[in-house]
Amino acid sequence: MIDWRRVEELREEIGADGFVEIADMFLDEAEQAVRALQSGIGGAQIEGQLHFLKGSALNLGLSELAAICQEGERKAATGLGGSIDVDQVAAVYRESRRQLLERLATDSAA
C-alpha cells in the first residue's frame, strides 16, 4: 500500500520536519479532493481531482492510491467517469492516511 522506501527517501531529501509539513499539507488537500469525488462532481473535475491525488500520492510513496487514481484518471479521460469507484478511492486514501500517520507518530516517539 505504501512504498516505505520512497517515504524514507523523501524524508532524507527534505528532512523530517519538512516531510511532516508536506505530509500534513497533502493529507489536508487530499481529504478535500476525496470529498469532492464523493460529492458527485463530473467529467473533467473527476479527472482533475484524480490527477492531483495520483501525483501527490506518487510523491509521498502512497503507491496503491496512486495506481487506483491513475486507473480512474484514464477512465475519466475516455468518458467513463461514472464507472469510477470513488468509494474505493476514498477507502484506499483513508487506509494510506492511517498507515502514514501511524508511522509518523511512531517515528516522532522514537
Kindly report, residue by residue over 35-60, the tens digit of the pLDDT: 999 998 887 899 999 999 999 999 99
pTM of the shown model = 0.90
Give Cβ neighbours of residue 98 (< 8 Å, ≥ 6 apart): none
- Judged against a pLDDT cut of 90, whether residue 14 lies above it is answered with yes
Asked if 37 and 85 touch (Cβ cutoff 8 Å), the reply is no
Q: What is the pLDDT of residue 82?
A: 74
Query: CA 103 to CA 38: how far, in whole Å?
Result: 27
Given this model, what pLDDT does residue 83 score?
A: 84
Domain locations along the chain = 4-109
Q: What are phi and psi of 12, to 5 degrees?
A: -70, -35
Q: pLDDT category, 7, cuts 50, 70, 90?
A: very high
The reply to whether CATH 1.10.287 applies to domain 4-109 is no
